[in-house]
């Protein structure tokens, strides 16, 4: 084998090794960014879930707010739940085993 062919083989292996090292370097350079991107995606998904839950809560609160201005019976029910009573009415509160109060009106 001539010396020229030997040098061509050495150059090819050296070029292949350089390309392989460059690819490995690129992978290790971007690996932390990929991990960080996945963490951001998980955070984004959990925040979107929280946002949907809060939007449902806001919708429920707005519905209750609308009921307060239009539904007299709803207002009375809520008033009884927090301890208000009509004139001459007595509310007895009993504590369940779970620690929650139940109101009974008389």
- Show pLDDT as tens, one digit a residue, over the chain (106 residues): 788 889 999 999 999 999 999 999 998 888 889 899 999 999 999 999 999 999 999 999 999 999 989 999 988 888 888 878 778 887 777 777 776 655 555 5
Q: Is the pTM of this model over 0.85?
A: no
Distance (Å, whole) CA 65 – CA 77: 14
Q: Give me the long-range contacts of 81-87 (CB less than 8 A, separation at least 24).
A: none
Angle at 101 between CA 100 and CA 105, to 5 degrees: 155
* DSSP label at residue 28: H
């Amino acid at each position: 084998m001539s010396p020229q062919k030997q040098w061509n083989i050495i150059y090819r292996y050296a070029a292949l090794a350089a390309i392989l090292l460059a690819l490995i370097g690129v992978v290790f350079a971007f690996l932390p960014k990929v991990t960080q991107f996945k963490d951001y995606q998980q955070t984004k998904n959990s925040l979107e879930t929280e946002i949907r839950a809060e939007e449902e809560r806001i919708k429920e609160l707005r519905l209750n707010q609308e009921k307060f201005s239009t539904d007299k019976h709803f207002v009375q029910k809520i008033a009884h739940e927090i301890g208000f009573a009509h004139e001459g009415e007595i509310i007895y509160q009993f504590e369940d085993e779970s620690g929650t109060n139940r109101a009974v009106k008389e």
